[in-house]
Amino acid sequence: MQSLRFSALGHLAGVDPTISGAEHTNKITEVFGSNVFSGKVMREYLSDEAYKSLMNSIKGGNKIERKMADQIASGLKSWAMKKGVTHYTHWFQPLTGTTAEKHDSFFTLKSDGTALETFDGDALVQQEPDASSFPNGGIRATFEARGYTAWDPSSPAFIIEQGAGKTLCIPTIFVAYTGESLDYKAPLLKALSALDKAAVDVCNYFDKNVTKVTATLGWEQEYFLVDETLANARPDLVMTGRTLVGHAPAKGQQLEDHYFGSIPERAYAFMRDFEEESYKLGIPLRTRHNEVAPSQFECAPIFEEVNIAVDHNSMLMDIMNKVAKRHRLKCLLHEKPFAGINGSGKHNNWSMATDTGVNLLAPGKTPKTNLMFLTFFVNTIKAVHDHADLMRASIASPSNDFRLGANEAPPAIISIFTGKYLTEVLQEVKTRVSNKFDEQDEAILKLDLHRHIPELLLDNTDRNRTSPFAFTGNKFEFRAVGSSANCASAMTTLNAIVAKTLTNFKKEVDSLIEKGEKKEIAIMQTLRKYIVESEKILFEGDGYSEEWEKEAARRGLENIKTTPTALDAFVNKKNAELFISTGIYNAKELHARHEILLEDYVKKVQIEARVIGDLATNVILPSAIRYMNQLITNISGLKSIGLGEESYVAQKQIVGKIAEHVNVISDNVQKLIEARKAANKLTDSRQKAIDYCDKIKPYFDVIRYHADKLEFLVDDSNWTLPKYRELLFLR
Ligand code: ADP
Ligand code: MG
């Protein structure tokens, strides 16, 4: 019998590792941004008036007049058609976690039958995709059944090439007719504008010239590559993006021979191709390397404004999936595709920059700029301390649950690593700044700070890889974000909480100033208060250790291990107040989002439950039973030629063991089905998600345990699922 596994293995032997469809230029600068409606292209294709209007909208968020929109649309069309584009689409990021497009052609027929290519302001500014199947958490069911996409001028239009086809993509936000946001982008843009305003106000204590603060993001994308033909022989990989069963290979990652080793040829060819596609779209990819686990890799760009960086990461994930197919590879973005092997994350490096060119999280050279740095540094710590539950919720997903706290990724406890020197600086502020802060203290403090900061720049070595939120010299790194996540979720939360904290900070400082305190002293005193209030979240030790779990519990830090309850943070009183007061979500949107995330959780676990049931029943048990039959035939044969019991001791033992595992699996698949039926009757989404997590998921582990034992016992030629060693080590 020829199983898919063996035909895939046969196929693999014939793969040319260097295959590549693309032609490559030697100079990245020659292709970089060639498919983007960039500032330079705008100059060329837009009138002065239209150009200015678009620029003002990008920089200042000004509204674009209808007349101008027509002009911009016309410029966009000329540019796109010159590049061979036939269709356009509003491109958006619905809460399904992927990107959405619906292509319309420029082509129209006039009433007299004349064929024309048109694209006007209306088509640019707004569209109504038939979006009834996107998640909406009940918003659109109760009001209008329709949603619309609206142009986001702050992210430039771009052209996607697929084979010979080219499509103009207009980045948009996706909202219900009643105005509630239904995507990742709309709340993100609101959070970024809240941060801008709050941060500018605080910057003005130090520098009156600052008029705009932009949050910056540099993500690091981890992923696995497996041969597509082998992956296709695994229903679990095809349907869920991860393996639901699979015996650990003899060799895992213990030799650490893959990490930073030379990149395998097939992976290298894939990287060059997806990088080329990315460059054309203006995604500034900079680094590529192997990761810790076998067949695991990472890429990272130069950081950009958060809004653009989020779009670029979404685009990149699409590109990686598409280009992988050209290489007969499957790119796994799942957080935990293989049990027992490191999972994948997407570190979000984050900072804030002023329009005067200052990175607000880079320690300055003068006492004044140091105080500004310290202000933003401490406010970020305070924000994360006050809203740690929300930070946890912002990265919660069924797939990320497998990774967090699995001794390879940060735990589900949110803590902050600041490094040795800044820990000392914070201590110093706390102990040396007395409640009655006087001029002398101020002088000492400034000197001391100044003494520490230059050394800080050398401090990059003691990076703590086990912390979920770490300061790394001139930025914070949110490491708990999952590899398949849309960065917008984490970024909306982080920017929202920092905006809120900065706003409160300004109020407190202003009120001290009104009472007659000197500005610097008012700032120092408020910072001291914030340090005292939030120091329990600071942790420099090993985040993977059991002691930390205990210590964190003593400190009263939360450790919510699973998504259904982690999501509660979105709707508790404190966080609802935060989102509503900053204008990022209204109450209805928050509840809808909570609902959507719970539904998403249920759906994903439900699919896995079905797949593992099918896999056990149709694939694993038949393989085991086939082998049992061979053994039984063998035993009867031995008996028939007159041999006694001692000649088939081993065979009999194996049959017994297999039969035992077969029965346990079969029994648990049945129980799993019953548990699902019971959970499906629940109408409350939160309770349903909790049941799926606590009552259904545990069966996966039992079934898996016995299936993996069978994989070990059953004759290799009878085993039809590609094994871990084949998925992970064949190049
Ligand atoms: P590593 O952490 O691997 O040593 P870097 O510190 O150079 O590498 O940067 C890691 C990521 O952080 C990159 O994507 C980079 O663009 C990003 N990054 C660097 N500075 C900033 C910043 N000010 N704001 C946001 N991201 C940044
Ligand atoms: Mg890093």
Q: Which of 475, 476, 477, 478 to mutate to test the pocket of ligand 1 (most atoms within 8 A of CB)?
A: 475
Distance 417 CA to ligand 2 centre (A): 13
Ligand 1 pocket member 302 (CB < 6 A): yes
Note the pLDDT tens digit of each residue in 255-277.
667 776 788 889 999 999 999 99
Residues of the chain above pLDDT 90, percent:
70
Q: What is the mean pLDDT of residues 656-675?
A: 98
DSSP character at residue 20: -
Q: Is the CB of residue 453 less than 8 Å from the CB of residue 404?
A: no
Q: What pLDDT score does 89 carry?
A: 93
pLDDT confidence bin for 11, thresholds 50/70/90? confident
Question: Are 475 and 542 contained in the same domain?
Answer: yes
Distance 218 CA to ligand 1 centre (A): 6
What does the radius of gyration of the chain's CA atoms come to, in whole angstroms?
29
pLDDT confidence bin for 463, thresholds 50/70/90? low
Structure tokens at 234: 């695994």
Residue at a domain's end among 529, 550, 582: 582
Q: What pLDDT score does 98 carry?
A: 80
Instruction: Please check whether residue 237 lies inside any domain of the structure.
Output: no
Ligand 1 pocket member 443 (CB < 6 A): no
Note the pLDDT tens digit of each residue in 46-100.
999 999 999 998 887 788 888 899 999 999 999 999 999 999 999 999 887 788 8
CATH number at residue 125: 3.10.20.70
pLDDT at 133 > cutoff 80 = no
Query: Closest ligand 1 atom to the C-alpha of 474?
Result: 23
Instruction: Please check whether residue 61 lies inside any domain of the structure.
Output: yes
Question: Are 549 and 611 contained in the same domain?
Answer: no
Q: What is the mean pLDDT of residues 448-476?
A: 68
Instruction: Please check whether residue 191 lies inside any domain of the structure.
Output: yes
Instruction: Please check whether residue 592 lies inside any domain of the structure.
Output: no
Ligand 1 pocket member 51 (CB < 6 A): no
Question: Are 408 and 554 contained in the same domain?
Answer: yes
Q: Is the CB of residue 311 less than 8 Å from the CB of residue 171?
A: yes
Query: Closest ligand 1 atom to the C-alpha of 217?
Result: 25
H or E element that contains 398: helix 398-401
- What amino acid is encoded at 86 in this protein? T
Q: What pLDDT score does 453 carry?
A: 53
Instruction: Please check whether residue 239 lies inside any domain of the structure.
Output: no
Residue at a domain's end among 554, 582, 610: 582
CB neighbour list of residue 68: distance below 8 Å, 6 or more residues apart = 49, 50, 53, 54, 121
Find the range with the poorest average confidence among 283-292, 298-307, 460-469, 498-507.
460-469
Q: Is the CB of residue 199 less than 8 Å from the CB of residue 364?
A: no
pLDDT confidence bin for 448, thresholds 50/70/90? low
Q: What pLDDT score does 444 carry?
A: 45
Query: By residue range, what is the domain housing residue 687?
Result: 600-729
Q: What pLDDT score does 438 carry?
A: 59
Structure tokens at 13: 């032997």
Residue-averaged pLDDT of the chain: 90
Q: What pLDDT score does 437 carry?
A: 56
Whose atoms come closest to the Cα of 214: which ligand? 1
Question: Are 572 and 605 contained in the same domain?
Answer: no
Higher pLDDT, 421 or 130: 421
pLDDT confidence bin for 461, thresholds 50/70/90? very low
Q: What pLDDT score does 173 carry?
A: 93
Q: What is the mean pLDDT of residues 221-247?
A: 96
pLDDT at 441 > cutoff 60 = no
Q: What pLDDT score does 539 carry?
A: 94
Dist. CA 309–CA 278, nearest whole Å: 12
CATH number at residue 685: 1.20.120.1560
Higher pLDDT, 395 or 428: 395
Q: What pLDDT score does 100 carry?
A: 84
Ligand 1 pocket member 359 (CB < 6 A): yes
Give the strand pairing for 469-471 and 329-332: unpaired
Ligand 1 pocket member 470 (CB < 6 A): no
Note the pLDDT tens digit of each residue in 570-610.
999 999 999 999 999 999 999 999 999 999 999 999 999 99
Question: Whose C-alpha lies nearest to ligand 1, atom 1?
Answer: 472
Nearest to 622 by CA among 710, 723, 726, 722: 710
Ligand 1 pocket member 284 (CB < 6 A): no
pLDDT at 146 > cutoff 90 = no
CA of 472: how far to CAs of 87, 349, 363, 383, 412, in Å?
44, 9, 11, 18, 20
How buried is residue 504: exposed, middle or buried, by Cβ count under 10 Å (0-12/13-18/19+)? middle
CA 636 from chain centre, in angstroms, equals 57
pLDDT confidence bin for 143, thresholds 50/70/90? very low
Ligand 1 pocket member 187 (CB < 6 A): no
pTM: 0.94
Q: Is the CB of residue 210 less than 8 Å from the CB of residue 354?
A: yes
Query: Closest ligand 1 atom to the C-alpha of 347?
Result: 11
Higher pLDDT, 154 or 19: 154
Q: What pLDDT score does 663 carry?
A: 98
Residue at a domain's end among 321, 344, 367: 344
Instruction: Please check whether residue 26 lies inside any domain of the structure.
Output: no
Dist. CA 448–CA 652, nearest whole Å: 77
Structure tokens at 709: 């034992």
Structure tokens at 433: 């700044």
Give the strand pairing for 416-417 and 126-127: unpaired
Question: Are 571 and 698 contained in the same domain?
Answer: no
Question: Are 312 and 446 contained in the same domain?
Answer: no
Question: Are 283 and 330 contained in the same domain?
Answer: yes
Nearest to 456 by CA among 377, 535, 525: 377
Residues of the chain above pLDDT 70, percent:
92
Dist. CA 464–CA 475, nearest whole Å: 14
Q: What is the mean pLDDT of residues 674-699?
A: 96
Structure tokens at 273: 């191709």
Question: Are 389 and 432 contained in the same domain?
Answer: yes
pLDDT at 20 > cutoff 70 = no
**Into how many domains does the chain fold?**
4
pLDDT confidence bin for 449, thresholds 50/70/90? low
pLDDT at 142 > cutoff 50 = no
Question: Are 331 and 359 contained in the same domain?
Answer: no
Q: What pLDDT score does 575 carry?
A: 96
Distance 573 CA to ligand 2 centre (A): 34
CATH number at residue 314: 3.30.590.10
Distance 384 CA to ligand 2 centre (A): 19
Question: Are 193 and 99 contained in the same domain?
Answer: no
pLDDT at 635 > cutoff 80 = yes
Query: Closest ligand 1 atom to the C-alpha of 301?
Result: 14
Find the range with the poorest average confidence among 120-129, 467-476, 488-497.
120-129
Question: Are 563 and 606 contained in the same domain?
Answer: no
